[in-house]
Amino acid sequence: MTAIAERAGSSIGALYSYFPDKKTLAVALLDIHASRIEQHWKPLFDQVTEISAAAFSEQFLARFLDFIQANPSYLQLQAAPVPLRRSAAAKRAFRATLVDALRRRVPSLTAESAHLRAGVLLQIVRGMMHLYADAAASERIPIQLEFQTLMTVYLEAVFAA
């Protein structure tokens, strides 16, 4: 925590007044990342009604990988040896955005059905993220392509509903 305070140009006391421990600080960073990634994906969600499942999958994962390249601490936080969970509010806000995008694409989806499908999509991303984080650079593109195929097949079924 001392090194963090020094790097932030803050006193250790000020840091502890906001973040009583490293885990609290890490969760706050995850929430910040969640907000940023939502904004990173928003342009794609805005055009969900105009693109194919394959294009959506490709762009969804490409935007995610662009985000983690620009924000390497996101993957590091996700791979932390201590389980870190974003706040429930941050999770709900992002999932609601994805649910809304799915319902705009497939108006016949109920809120419950869209919520389930959004959860599956996020689990696909989470699965890719775990493999990607541990992979050598030469393995990352094949991992991305496999998960892109998986997401495309899944979304083709969802979009056809």
C-alpha to C-alpha distance for 5 and 13, rounded to whole angstroms: 9
Q: What per-residue confidence (pLDDT) applies to 54?
A: 97
pLDDT tens-digit profile, the chain (161 residues): 888 888 888 888 888 888 888 888 888 887 787 778 778 888 999 999 999 999 999 999 998 888 888 888 877 777 676 666 666 776 787 889 899 999 999 999 999 999 999 999 999 988 998 888 888 999 999 999 999 999 999 999 999 97
Place of tokens 């696909």: 124
**Residue 114 and residue 60: Cα distance in Å, rounded?**
17
Nearest to 118 by CA among 36, 38, 50: 38
Q: Which amino acid is at 11?
A: S
Output the pLDDT for position 159.
Answer: 96
- Residues with Cβ within 8 Å of 22's Cβ and at least 6 positions away in sequence, in order, are 1, 4
Q: What is the pLDDT of residue 83?
A: 66
User: What pLDDT is recorded for position 56?
Assistant: 95
5, exposed or middle or buried, with CB in 10 Å at 0-12, 13-18, 19+?
Answer: middle
Q: What residues does each domain of the chain span? A: 26-160
- Give the global pTM: 0.78
Q: Is 106 helix (H, G, I), strand (E, B) or coil?
A: coil
Q: Which regions of 48-120 does DSSP assign to beta strands (E)?
A: none
Q: Which amino acid is at 22?
A: K
Q: Does domain 26-160 have CATH number 3.40.50.150?
A: no
In the chain, DSSP assigns E strands to none
